[in-house]
Amino acid sequence: MRLALGTVQLGLNYGILNTSGKPDAAEARATVKAAWEGGCRHFDTARAYGDSEQVLGQCLRQLGIARDSKVITKVGTGPHQLESYDSELTLSLGNLQCDSVYGLLLHREEALHHWDDWLGPWMREKLHKKVAARIGVSVYNPEFALKALDIPEISILQIAFNVFDRKMLRAEVLKKARERGVDLYIRSVYLQGLALAKPSEVPAHLPFAAAPVSLLDRFCEQHNIERREFVVGYVADHVREGFLLMGAENSRQAGSNCALIKALPSRPTLTALWDQLFPEDDPTLANPATWPMKPERTSRAEA
């Protein structure tokens, strides 16, 4: 399994356990440099990630690695209309300071409903004109993943998969992607940090996460394995030939992620044991879009 650097943290304050916030320009550049020096060549971004595209484009230029980097970005955050997609792509290329990208993905899976109408021809045109070397889609639901795998031109599929979210495994999306030769980019490995949280760190507004997090904590302690190593190893055991899409708040984390991937052992027995211990996924836990908003602190004047 190879590492792809997720760059949402370069453009937004992102993550349940993120206490440092969005990095400044120097730290962002150091983060991209640490990932590059650790062997990472794939960088995932999107216009929806704050100013991530601008920051990433500037970092790659300043480090002199823009030409050799494989950048993936996404379109389709606005209306599902041809003019909107054209406008978004133009803005993305401008933000990234480039004429083409390695991967052009649909940001929303429901866009596939328009594939046989205008969207398929539009995406194929980007391939033909070499605006994108590869095209694909970011999906949340197995039915859209399977629909995407039936489209011959799609060669990248970005999916969520982790110890608490195995719907793609059960729907045989991983198996079918492997058979078709489609590259899988696995996001949400840490589930916004919940998979690494101590039981005492589970936010009060996410009470449904308390029991699963405690179970995972006890499991790793019982088997004497560091939590991060197990969480990442679990995914790697299922997606050996894919890309692990991991963000980093700073250069230290980026370097640590690279080192982890390189030294990651296979532990199929532990993977099977976890599936026996935690056989069913809670859809509410698995989908951050359904999580309740964190309540704002009451101001002293209102208290």
- Phi and psi angles of residue 261, each rounded to the nearest 5 degrees, phi first: -60, -40
E runs forming strands in the chain: 2-6, 42-44, 70-75, 101-106, 132-138, 154-160, 183-187, 243-247
Q: Give Dmax over CA atoms of the chain in angstroms.
A: 61
**For the structural domain made of 2-194+232-266, what CATH number should be given?**
3.20.20.100
In one letter, which amino acid is 133?
A
pTM of the entire predicted model: 0.91
Instruction: Give the pLDDT confidence score for residue 41 in this predicted structure.
Output: 98
**What string of pLDDT tens digits covers the 303 residues of the chain?**
899 999 999 997 554 444 566 889 999 999 999 999 999 999 999 999 999 999 999 999 999 999 999 999 999 999 999 999 999 999 999 999 999 999 999 999 999 999 999 999 999 999 999 999 999 999 999 999 999 999 999 999 999 999 999 999 999 999 999 999 999 999 999 998 899 999 999 999 999 999 999 999 999 999 999 999 999 999 999 998 899 999 998 999 999 999 999 999 899 999 999 999 999 999 999 988 889 987 764 333 332
- In three-state secondary structure terms, 255 is helix
Distance CA 238, CA 249 (A): 26
Instruction: Give the pLDDT confidence score for residue 1 in this predicted structure.
Output: 86
DSSP 266: P
Instruction: Give the pLDDT confidence score for residue 23 in this predicted structure.
Output: 87
Instruction: Give the pLDDT confidence score for residue 303 in this predicted structure.
Output: 29
Structure tokens at 154: 């799609």
Yes or no: say if 4 and 244 are a contact pair by the CB < 8 Å rule: yes
Yes or no: say if 122 and 82 are a contact pair by the CB < 8 Å rule: yes
Instruction: Give the pLDDT confidence score for residue 297 in this predicted structure.
Output: 46
Yes or no: say if 213 and 206 are a contact pair by the CB < 8 Å rule: no
Instruction: Give the pLDDT confidence score for residue 19 in this predicted structure.
Output: 55
Which residue ranges make up each domain of the chain? 2-194+232-266
Helix axes 173-180, 142-149, angle to 10 degrees: 10
Instruction: Give the pLDDT confidence score for residue 300 in this predicted structure.
Output: 35
Instruction: Give the pLDDT confidence score for residue 288 in this predicted structure.
Output: 87
Instruction: Give the pLDDT confidence score for residue 179 in this predicted structure.
Output: 96
Instruction: Give the pLDDT confidence score for residue 256 in this predicted structure.
Output: 95
Instruction: Give the pLDDT confidence score for residue 73 in this predicted structure.
Output: 98
